[in-house]
C-alpha cells in the first residue's frame, strides 16, 4: 500500500456567509482548479466545461454554484466541493467507452461529468448511478436528463442500497463512491473488472484500488478529506428533512479564507 497526502487537510468549519475570494463564474472555477493542479486531463477539463454545476444545485444556492465548497441538496446530503470532485476524477481516470458505477448520485453532477467523458468522441460508454434516497434519485435523473444522457441510455439512475453495488451490470471498468465507508465493501471489489480502478472515501482518506487479479489489489491512500457517511438501506422519503437554504456546515480547504492549496505533482 502506498500512502499519499492530499495538498492540505480539509476540515469542517461553520460560518453564515460564503468565504471571500471564491470564483463566481464557471470559467473562473475551472481556471482556479487548473492553476492549482486539480484539473489536469483534457477529458476531465472538457467535462467540467460542458457540464455546468449550476444546473445541479438548488435554486436557493444558484449564486454559489461556482464557489469551491459543497452545497446542501437536502436529506443531509451535499453536492460535493468542486476541488474534491476534480481530484477524485483525476484519480479515477475515466475513459471514453467505459462502463462506470457511481455510488451516491446526489443531484447528478458527477454522473453527468462521467457520462460526458464516457461518450467523448462518440464512444458508447455507460454510467450506472446509485442513490439510496428516492427523492434524490428522482432529482438526479431529472437533472441528468436535461443533459440528454438519460434518453440516450448513457446514464441509468438506480434507487437502491449503494453498499450492494450493482451486480446486474457488473463487472465495471471503474467504480467511484461519494460517501465515506468504514472499509471498502467487498462486493465493490468483486464487481470491478481485472485491470479496473475503484476510488472511494474511507474515513478521512480517499482510497484508490487497482485490481490486478481476482484477489490482488494495489492500494494508494490520500489523507485529509471529509465526506458524508455511507449509509445502507433505501430511503423512500419524498421531502427533505433539513431543507437546502442554510450553509452553516461546509467542507473547505485548510483555513477559512476559501483559498485552495496548490496540488503538487
Cell of 90: 483525476
Burial class (CB in 10 A: 0-12, 13-18, 19+), 35: exposed
User: Does 80 qualify as catalytic in the annotation?
Assistant: yes
Among the listed residues 4, 6, 41, 80, the single catalytic one is: 80
CA dist., res. 54 & res. 155, Å (int): 19
Residues 6 or more apart whose CB falls under 8 angstroms from that of 8 comprise: 224, 253, 254, 261
Query: What sign results for the dihedral spanned by CA atoms 136, 93, 117, 64?
Result: positive
CA dist., res. 260 & res. 24, Å (int): 15
The CB density around residue 61, as the number of other CB atoms within 10 Å, is 17
CA dist., res. 118 & res. 76, Å (int): 29
Q: Is the peptide bond before 210 cis (omega within 30 degrees of 0)?
A: no
Tell me 91's DSSP state: H
CA dist., res. 91 & res. 208, Å (int): 7
Which residues does the annotation mark as catalytic? 80
Amino acid at each position: 500500500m502506498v500512502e499519499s497526502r492530499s495538498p492540505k487537510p480539509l476540515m469542517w468549519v461553520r460560518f453564515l456567509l460564503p468565504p471571500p475570494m471564491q470564483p463566481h463564474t464557471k470559467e473562473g472555477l475551472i481556471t482556479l482548479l487548473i492553476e492549482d493542479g486539480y484539473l489536469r486531463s483534457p477529458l476531465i477539463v472538457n467535462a467540467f466545461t460542458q457540464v455546468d454545476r449550476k444546473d445541479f444545485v438548488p435554486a436557493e444556492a444558484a449564486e454559489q454554484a461556482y464557489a469551491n465548497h459543497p452545497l446542501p441538496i437536502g436529506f443531509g446530503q451535499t453536492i460535493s466541493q468542486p476541488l474534491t470532485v476534480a481530484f477524485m476524477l483525476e484519480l479515477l481516470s475515466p475513459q471514453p467507452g467505459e462502463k462506470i458505477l457511481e455510488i451516491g448520485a446526489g443531484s447528478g453532477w458527477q454522473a453527468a461529468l462521467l457520462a460526458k467523458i464516457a461518450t467523448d468522441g462518440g464512444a458508447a460508454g455507460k454510467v450506472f448511478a446509485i442513490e439510496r434516497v428516492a427523492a434524490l434519485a428522482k432529482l438526479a435523473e431529472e437533472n441528468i436528463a436535461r443533459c440528454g444522457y438519460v434518453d440516450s441510455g448513457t446514464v441509468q439512475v438506480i434507487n437502491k442500497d449503494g453498499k450492494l453495488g450493482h451486480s446486474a451490470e457488473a463487472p465495471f471498468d471503474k467504480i467511484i463512491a461519494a460517501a465515506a465507508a468504514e472499509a471498502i465493501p467487498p462486493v465493490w471489489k468483486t464487481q470491478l473488472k481485472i485491470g479496473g480502478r475503484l476510488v472511494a472515501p474511507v474515513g478521512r482518506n480517499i482510497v484508490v484500488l487497482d485490481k490486478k487479479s481476482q484477489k490482488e489489489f494495489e492500494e494508494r491512500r490520500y489523507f485529509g478529506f471529509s465526506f458524508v457517511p455511507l449509509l445502507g438501506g433505501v430511503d423512500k422519503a419524498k421531502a427533505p428533512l433539513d431543507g437546502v437554504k442554510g450553509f452553516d456546515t461546509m467542507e473547505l480547504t485548510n483555513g477559512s479564507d476559501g483559498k485552495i492549496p496548490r496540488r503538487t505533482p
